[in-house]
A and B are shown apart, each in its own frame.
Chain A
Amino acid sequence: MNITELREHLCEVYPDLCPLFSIEFGDGVLVVDCDRLFSAASNLKDLGFDRLGMVTAVDRPTHLELVYRLHSRSMSAAIFLKCTVDRESPVAHSLVDLWPAALWQEREVYDMFGIVFEAHPDLRRILLPEEWEGYPLRKDYSDRRVIRRPDYI
């Protein structure tokens, strides 16, 4: 299924999600409010997106952006699901109930960005030690042990 067919199919089944859909670099992107993240994700799961491929976040200048990438084997299609999270109080609803694949990946996002996932059964740091301070992949992370690379370009 190509991207325009996916858009038509999505608009047909879930008209309320249709205006949130856009196309970027050949991939479908669905940007939702964080309150609606879980319901939008379960809608997409009902639509046939049975695999959760990737969970990550991006530290934008004004906010944190949570990015999920979903795959569908039956439709052979993929879609990005994005939502905006506040930098100061980053909270989102966990998708572990829909896809257990989110269990470790959301832990990693918590570890690197400090986004707290509600209803996550085991939200701890995963890659860094438990006593680590700060969230390294945030742009404002500072660590006196880091040596900045000189500019060679």
Chain B
Amino acid sequence: MGLTVESRECIETPEGGVVEELVVNIGPSHPSTHGVCRVIAHLDGEIVTRAEPVIGYLHRGIEKMAENRTYLQVVPLTDRLDYVGSMYANWAYCRAVERLAGIRVPERAEYLRVVVCELQRIASHMMSIGSAAADSGAATMFIYAFDQRERIIELFEALCGARLTYNYVRPGGVSFDLPDGWTETALDFCRTHREALNEMDRLYFGNVITRGRLKGVGVLSADDAVAWGASGPVARGSGVNWDLRKHDTYSVYPRFDFDVPTGSNGDCYDRTRVRLYECYESCRIVEQALAQMEPGPIRTSGMPRLLAPRPGDAYDHIESARGSLGVYLVSDGSVRPYRMKVRSPAFCNLALLPMLAEGHMLSDLVVILGSLDPVFGEVDR
């Protein structure tokens, strides 16, 4: 079920010639589809004339499951949405619940959320850059990037005991305070991570082969990025300066000094490199947040075990590693959500694939898919 030829057809062109169209099935289990995506590619020779992604191979019905759980019991489900960056879905869901139930979060908890989510952004981008590099043949880069990712996962494990599914951000606060020595380890990580990023930048983005493979491939214009609802590094790679942390700011982000890197060409190279530069900015935010943080409570006191918000619907969103991740919650006044909807950035970004892949080589299709950075737990939900 990797790469199979589905059919060969002869098509007559309007000019009277005959073109053989080859339909190639890639996936749903193929190492370069970043999970369980299936792409049906129609080829003319080696040129993709039409690429159709088929998704839903990981659709677990999380939105339906949430309707039979209490507000607190849904939090572990949100871990499994974006499994490369679990903290984001935790946070987006908790923000929606807090808005619906009118819960105020202590300041220290907001700082802790910012710290873990910025570290999570680095971990997620390392996975994304590494696997996108491996798709274009640069397997060394994957190992360099994964080394950095493992160091963050060790930090998270020391913080909350889990390597991937953290369940850390809860409605009304976070689950644990920082353990002893954590701050020093995190600051040490930020310092050495910058050196590693410099090295990766030279190793991968300075490489002539990488430039040849990525530059000018899968160009997305800024207008298309907005119209198609692209967000995160995919939109910023095209020069759309849109980052919820800056432009629809939330939590304690206004207190930090950071930049939003944007690309100019909108090709695979810019999209991937924007992710690398975001890691520098995340390091800056982590350092500022750890310096500004003051002791205090990490959870709202007196929060009931069973939340029953008044009827209504609320939406809140955060800037995840893949773009604007929103959660829409409808309450009917009972202890369970009436409806939960996750606005998944990866889903919207993946919809661009047919447009971007058209006219490129089959080998570029894989690179374009890698630069969109889909995580199928979030695409399919």
Decide whether A and B are members of one complex.
Answer: yes
Chain A: residues with CB nearer than 8 A to chain B? 24-27, 50-54, 56, 58-59, 67, 69, 73, 76, 78, 80, 99-101, 103-105, 108, 112, 125-129, 136-137, 148-149, 153
Q: Is B338 an interface residue (CB 8 A)?
A: yes
Given known contacts A50-B226, A73-B242, A136 and B64 CB-to-CB distance under 8 angstroms: yes
**Docked pose: A136 CA to B61 CA in angstroms:** 8
Given known contacts A58-B330, A149-B69, A153-B335, A126 and B55 CB-to-CB distance under 8 angstroms: yes
Q: Is B263 an interface residue (CB 8 A)?
A: no
**Docked pose: A98 CA to B136 CA in angstroms:** 36
The tally of CB-CB contacts under 8 A between chains A and B is 90
**Docked pose: A45 CA to B314 CA in angstroms:** 22
Please state if A54 and B328 are interface contacts (CB–CB under 8 Å): yes
CB contacts (< 8 Å) of A53 on chain B: these are: 229, 317, 324, 326, 343
Please state if B380 and A127 are interface contacts (CB–CB under 8 Å): yes
Across the two chains, which residue of chain A brings its CB closest to B354? A103
Identify 30 residue pairs between A and B in the complex whose beta-carbon atoms are under 8 Å apart, listed by A's number. A24-B314, A25-B313, A26-B99, A51-B229, A54-B326, A56-B328, A58-B330, A67-B313, A76-B247, A76-B248, A78-B248, A99-B227, A99-B228, A100-B228, A100-B351, A101-B228, A101-B229, A101-B351, A103-B351, A104-B347, A104-B351, A105-B347, A112-B63, A126-B55, A126-B56, A127-B55, A127-B56, A128-B56, A136-B61, A137-B339
- Flag B144-169 by CB within 8 Å of A: 1 or 0 each: 00000000000000000000000000
Across the two chains, which residue of chain B brings its CB closest to A107? B351
CB contacts (< 8 Å) of A27 on chain B: these are: 314-315
**Docked pose: A56 CA to B326 CA in angstroms:** 12
- B residues 309-352 near A (Cβ < 8 Å) are 312-315, 317, 324, 326, 328, 330, 335, 338-339, 341, 343, 347-348, 350-351
Q: Is B175 an interface residue (CB 8 A)?
A: no
CB contacts (< 8 Å) of B348 on chain A: these are: 101, 104-105
Our pick among A25, A99, A100 for the contact of B314 (Cβ within 8 Å) is A25
Our pick among B68, B341, B380 for the contact of A149 (Cβ within 8 Å) is B68
- The winner among A54, A67, A153 for most chain B CB atoms within 10 A is A54
- State the Cβ distance, B312 to closest chain A Cβ, in Å: 6
Please state if B100 and A25 are interface contacts (CB–CB under 8 Å): yes
- The winner among B100, B229, B313, B350 for most chain A CB atoms within 10 A is B229
Q: Is B70 an interface residue (CB 8 A)?
A: yes
